[in-house]
Structure 1
Amino acid sequence: MSVAHALGSQKPLGRHSLALLIGLQLLLVLTVALGGWGASAYLRQLTLTQTLEHAQAQAYNLEDALSQSFHLLKMHLQALGEDHPDLAQQPQQLQVAMAALQQKLPYIRSLSALDGQGKIHISTDPANVGQRLLLGELQHSVVPGAAGVLRFGHPWRGRNFADGTPWPRHREGGLVVDSGFFPVTLVLPGAPQWTLLATINSDYFINLALNHQTSVALRYSVYSDEGILLFSTNENAQPGTLMPRAEALQDILERQVGTAHWPQTRTQEAEVAAFRASRSYPWLVLAQAQTQEVLRPWRQQTERLAVIAVLSVLGLLLVTGSLTWRVRRVLAQEERHLEASRLAASVFSHSSDLIAITDSLGRVLTVNPTFERTLGFSAQEVVGRKLGEWQDGRAAPAGLTPLWTALASEDTWEGKVQERCKDGSELIGWLAASAIRDARQQVVNYVFVLRDLSRLHADEATIRKLSQVVEQSPLSILITSTAPAIEYGNPEFFRICGFSPEELLGVNPRIMQSGQTPVTTYRSMWAALKQGNAWEGEFINRRKDGSLYIENAIVAPLLNADGQTTHYLGIKQDITAYKEAEKALRLAASVVAQTHEGVMICDAQRLITDINPAFTRITGYTREQVLGRKPSILSAGSKNQEGYIAMSAALAASGHWSGEFWNRRPDGSVYATANSMNTITDDASQIAYYINVFQDVTERRQQQEFLESLAHFDPLTRLPNRTLLNDRIAQAMGRAGRAQSLLGVCFLDLDGFKAVNDTWGHEAGDDLLIVIARRLEACVRAEDTVARLGGDEFVVLLTAVTDTAECERAAARILASVREPIDVGGHTVHVGVSIGIALYPQDGDDAETLLRYADMAMYRAKQAGRNRWVLHADG
């Protein structure tokens, strides 16, 4: 192929190509404009939609928080009325209860009790006492004096009734800096002449709404169903005023939940809003924002995008116009110089060097015959390809990067390069490159001349690799003469011994001896070397600083062509750290094997990989039985479930956990262990092993449980004692008060027990008490309690009793059961029981009173002839 044919001829751009380019530019402008308009419209709708979705979620959250707060307030107020039915006779107790409730509910500023004329008699704010309030119309609208309904009043400004006034219905000027409060009332069902009044702190719910908002444009307001503003996060909104959009209120009350777009009016800006009416109370939550505020970020973004789009289009138009002009000019210049390039083709066709000519972009135009013969590629295969990229999928040599950099600034470059032939072999050569420029100093061609240096480079590479292997080896390499004297050491050798090359070259290697290497080691080494064999062993040497180190060494003779030893080669590795680690591992293994505490090691899958002898001694499992198994093989069952959860969480969070488990041995016996668990991580900070060190604490746990049992249970009958009984009576009274049910306390004293005790002995008496305890438990329900106070006195606590007759039926069952014959020590005995019954709440409202009255009733039963029951109320 000739150079002229390779270069070819190129025609300049015609008028039709220029018109096509202008048409494409106009199409680009139109596409950008339409795309920008569509994206802007989509983003606008998306902004409004996301704002409404967020407003709807926030309205739901605020409504739910308010409803839950008022549900809780209603429940506590009703409970307060039930616990204090006669408010006038217990003012101090009511005052304490109200103060406690105010502390529990942070959104309450004060609690007060009003009579039928609206006068405050009791209040947690002393300044309110004596105030006579006109609360106005309340919501819900119910019959005056209706009990059990939570009602909401007109909002007030100020801290409380003593220093506050109702908000006016007309708008006052300026910002609202005092959100004030609003009253909530509840007429007591049991005492309709009394009304409990709570003042609700508006700031509490305003802060609640603000703490959860993510859009500064949204404002949250709470209106009554009459459209009166209770409170708002908007500083321009005044509580007590009517909702500005009357038609919006009607729409909200009809739909209850939803969103809305409100248009601009003479007094109101256009707004988007989400609303939710309360499911239980006469108010609604409104989350709203001015449309222009919501869309402000969208407008700003749209303006920025428009500016960027305009500037981008203008830039593209300028660039494409400039390129069109420049291409036309370059093609004209190339046409003028094409003839000169054809003349130069004959010069390089007979060269012994590899020659290639490319265009200004580095694409091959032609190559000489030597190029084809040496690399194996024909001219047809490489023409049109970039320099070095002779085949698809094969990148250009990395060494060409500085070539192009130099040609761009200096027009010439020389250097060594590596090229790959078609058969895959490597060719190393010296490349000279030149840039050919036209009269305007524009590059039109590049000429590359490559001289083959493959064989020379191969020899140099071999020597260089050998040198690098020795110099960069992580092993210590030493060469000595036969004297011996050190002739060479690599950097690792000098680093390990601490000497410099100047201090050791020409010196006998014994300078590094510590005197602690056995003499037999050196003898065996020299014996092997003199026989022409290699030797391997360990040396204990001394560094320059005096510290000792251990080396594993391979020493071998170096032979010349005649087979005579000329030098010795030593290849050594510092194994000091390995020896220390080996020693530490042996010590650790010995400690683990000898410790009295059990040790269990699990892998990342929590399978047991190792145990120590103490593990087998404590658990009863041998090594063969547990290796490869999960630790759950030791578990005693579900009583460890909470501990397992806590253990997993702690190990994941901190890598450490300590606690106790109940485990089971192979023979079925249960034992307790105190465990200390840790994780070991790998180089990637992933858990590799779990280590559990534990000890048997069964005896300690049993003693602890025994002591806890003595504190709450009678040792003989295992029944609850007086301490546990008092606690259960207190809990049962609380449940009975809430459920409005009765509670029966039955005091029992055995009839005839002293005779059995005196006749057959204390052991027989103890057996009798145990039998009686079991019979009493069988006479009552699982939720009832049977307790022993001491001697032959028992107490039966009957919970959730509906009437007195139910207590008497239980007493009848107890009498019948106790009268049954009892076999103690081979003797049949008969005893009876006298029962006194006191009821909660009519006989008493605390455990001590109930037990005292039941005891008194029991004594009346004994005086009446024994073996019967007596109600305290009948006395």
Structure 2
Amino acid sequence: MDDLIRVLRLSQGSGQGDGSRIGALSNDALMESFQWDMSQEELSRLLASITDMIAIIDNKARYKAVSSGYAAFFSSDRETLIGKRLQEVHRDSNFVRKVSPRVAEALGGQAVRLDLWEFNSSDQQHYLDISLTPFADADAKAGGAIIVARDMTDLALSQAGLNRERHMMQLVINAIPDFIFVKDVKGVYQYCNAAFVNFMNLSEERIIGACDADLMSQRSAAYIMEQDTAILEQGEARRVDEWVTYNDGRRQLLDMYKFPIRNDEGRIEGLVGIGRDVTAERQAAEKIKQAALVFDTTSDCCFILDAEGRVVSANSAAHQAFGYAAGTLLGVEMDSLIKGPEGCCSVNVILKEQNSWRGEVEGRDVGGNTRPYIGTLNSVTNAQGELSSLVLTLTDISEQKRVEQELMHQACKDPLTDLPNRLLMRARMEHAIQKAQRGSYNIAAVFVDLDGFKAVNDTYGHELGDTLLKQVGERLKSGIRKSDTLSRLGGDEFLLLVDELSDIAGVHGIAEKLLGSFGNPFDTDVGPIKLSASIGISFYPQDGMDVDDLVRKADLAMYQAKRTGRNRYCFYGDVGLDSML
């Protein structure tokens, strides 16, 4: 029984307490184990009962004794192995490649440990933990070595599986965009994932072992330490926003979730932090809030349209301007609300050629009333570059248009008579000359000057004179065609443009009608006043080719009419006035 216990000690070794590996026996233990009186036959019979893998080799690396378990693993009977060298038995196997080089070390008196994968007799691969323990013979010389092999396959596979799981878990954790870290109770970083490394812009080695005071401003570190201490003391998870200023000058807003770590006894050993940088997100949200505020409060009409030009959203100004109750513009086609100068302003047509557009449009409310707007249309694309929505703003330019028209009126009309002034008359005459050139017809410039108006004005004053000029303008205008233009050049001078004359003889009738408009006296505050006029007429192209030439020659003809008696008309070409130019 004592001999069996000694051999079992050799087979089991003095390994670690968890049984995962076989510990090497000391030289003293080996010597003690072989200092007994046991024959080869007794040793062989003893090993035959042991299923563990034990073999004894001599100093020539020949098998001296093997256990039944050892022989069974290598698909051989025990007697066949005895006396054969390791290389002879195992040939070109992984076992002999790994073990043979180490046998010399063992025979030299050095305990050897190694592990390897080897196929058993069933051609199944096993993971073996092998120890080679030297022993001396009776003369204290190298007697051989004891080979103890322990099948650790299940443990190795479990460890490999665990390592794979750890590796996969690490891959998953590193793929998470949120950063993750672990701190101990003193606030020292113990672990962090790739996202945290990238966020900190530091190496993992620089982070692990550091505390917040090493990575950020003292104020930020003190604030976070206060938060972490509360979590560790209360033992509860928290979600908080943390503004942090780092050593590189960045100030970031972190959305953090932290919870304590407990050991098997329930004692808190640290905390886990999971978070993300939400600085840009919060800033974007604030901008959206501000934009929404502007959208809702601006006096301009604002619309968000879908890709087909239908209203998705509209502000209160748009509902009010177009006469819709709140929220009822949803789904309305924008083309039914606005049109361009040409009568069409389809947003779909516009965006086929350009991504943005700006121009003047006419808006029509539910009552059919129209008003002018400046429209600005911009497209919004998604991440794939596809059109997702349109933003349209309409600025009411009614007042601007009114002012423009008033200024235009003031610039082009005589303020006293409301007739076209000299500037507008020039523009219309230039246009008439261009048309006459293309159409091969005549135009006439008819210069009208009141007779004796200065004396009336001097006698009764300018106020009465202005009243007379207004009445004169009204009478002259009532006697002309709609296609013709009557203007006041200033003082008591009027100019009539007779456009598109097919027969210049027809001007005689126009001139007679103008003179006839002075047949009746003009009613004034001082009583009826009789006036007459002298008229001079020139023709394009007979008398002149441009505006200045025609007006000058009509003026000369008018003076000729005054010299010959007044209250009459005179044609420039009939009286030979060229010498007066």
Mapping of residues 339-738 of structure 1, within 5 Å: 466-482=169-185, 485-505=188-208, 511-512=214-215, 514-517=217-220, 525-541=228-244, 543=246, 545=248, 547-559=250-262, 565=268, 568-582=271-285, 600=302, 602-604=304-306, 605=309, 607=311, 609=313, 641=341, 655=355, 680-686=380-386, 688-690=389-391, 712-733=412-433, 735-736=435-436
Mapping of residues 229-308 of structure 1, within 5 Å: none
Answer yes or no: is the 8 Å Cα contact 2:232–2:270 preserved in 1.
no
Distance 1:818 1:647 in 2: 58
Closer/same/farther in 2, CA of residues 817 and 606 from structure 1, 3 Å limit: farther
Distance 1:508 1:874 in 2: 111
Q: Secondary structure at the match of 1:516?
A: helix
Closer/same/farther in 2, CA of residues 664 and 827 from structure 1, 3 Å limit: farther
| From 817, 822, 832, the counterpart of 2:532 | 832
Distance 1:720 1:854 in 2: 18
Q: Is residue 2:475 matched to residue 1:775? A: yes
Query: What is the aligned partner in structure 2 of residue 800 from structure 1?
Result: 500
Distance 1:480 1:534 in 2: 14
* Deviation of 1:855 (Å): 3.8
**Which whole-Å deviations, capped at 9, do the CAs of 1:506-538 have from their partners, x for residues lacking one?**
555664463334967755654454454322213
Kindly provide the amino acid, as one letter, of the partner of residue 204 in structure 2. Answer: P
Closer/same/farther in 2, CA of residues 670 and 550 from structure 1, 3 Å limit: same
Distance 2:351 2:513 in 1: 55
Q: Secondary structure at the match of 1:764?
A: helix
Q: Secondary structure at the match of 2:240?
A: strand
Distance 2:347 2:532 in 1: 54
Answer yes or no: is the 8 Å Cα contact 1:516–1:540 preserved in 2.
no
Kindly provide the amino acid, as one letter, of the partner of residue 279 in structure 2. Answer: T
Question: Aligned Cα RMSD in Å?
Answer: 5.3
Where structure 1 has 5 or more consecutive residues not aligned to the other structure, the ranges are 1-429, 431-454
Distance 2:406 2:469 in 1: 21
**Which whole-Å deviations, capped at 9, do the CAs of 1:782-801 have from their partners, x for residues lacking one?**
22221223222222222333
Answer yes or no: is the 8 Å Cα contact 1:843–1:853 preserved in 2.
yes
* Deviation of 1:780 (Å): 1.9
Kindly provide the amino acid, as one letter, of the partner of residue 778 in structure 1. Answer: S
Answer yes or no: is the 8 Å Cα contact 2:302–2:314 preserved in 1.
yes
* Deviation of 1:492 (Å): 1.8
Answer yes or no: is the 8 Å Cα contact 2:543–2:573 preserved in 1.
yes
* Deviation of 1:651 (Å): 7.4
Answer yes or no: is the 8 Å Cα contact 1:661–1:672 preserved in 2.
yes
**Which whole-Å deviations, capped at 9, do the CAs of 1:539-575 have from their partners, x for residues lacking one?**
3446564644332222223456665545533222222
**Which whole-Å deviations, capped at 9, do the CAs of 1:274-304 have from their partners, x for residues lacking one?**
xxxxxxxxxxxxxxxxxxxxxxxxxxxxxxx
Answer yes or no: is the 8 Å Cα contact 2:335–2:346 preserved in 1.
no
The two structures have a TM-score, normalised by structure 1, of: 0.38
Identity of aligned residues (%): 29
**Which whole-Å deviations, capped at 9, do the CAs of 1:139-195 have from their partners, x for residues lacking one?**
xxxxxxxxxxxxxxxxxxxxxxxxxxxxxxxxxxxxxxxxxxxxxxxxxxxxxxxxx
Answer yes or no: is the 8 Å Cα contact 1:514–1:548 preserved in 2.
no
* Deviation of 1:473 (Å): 1.6
Q: Secondary structure at the match of 1:641?
A: coil
**Which whole-Å deviations, capped at 9, do the CAs of 1:637-681 have from their partners, x for residues lacking one?**
x7x626986999997766566667788999999998878776554
Distance 1:696 1:803 in 2: 46
Closer/same/farther in 2, CA of residues 862 and 510 from structure 1, 3 Å limit: closer
Distance 1:736 1:507 in 2: 93
Closer/same/farther in 2, CA of residues 800 and 578 from structure 1, 3 Å limit: closer
Answer yes or no: is the 8 Å Cα contact 1:539–1:553 preserved in 2.
yes
Distance 1:769 1:666 in 2: 46
Where structure 2 has 5 or more consecutive residues not aligned to the other structure, the ranges are 1-123, 125-156, 576-581
Kindly provide the amino acid, as one letter, of the partner of residue 716 in structure 1. Answer: L
Q: Quick check: 791-800 or 669-678, which moved more? A: 669-678
Distance 1:574 1:678 in 2: 31
Kindly provide the amino acid, as one letter, of the partner of residue 488 in structure 2. Answer: R
The two structures have a TM-score, normalised by structure 2, of: 0.54
* Deviation of 1:576 (Å): 3.2
Distance 1:734 1:693 in 2: 39
Distance 2:560 2:198 in 1: 104
**Which whole-Å deviations, capped at 9, do the CAs of 1:329-370 have from their partners, x for residues lacking one?**
xxxxxxxxxxxxxxxxxxxxxxxxxxxxxxxxxxxxxxxxxx
* Deviation of 1:866 (Å): 4.1
Q: Is residue 2:474 matched to residue 1:788? A: no
Query: What is the aligned partner in structure 1 of residue 464 from structure 2?
Result: 764
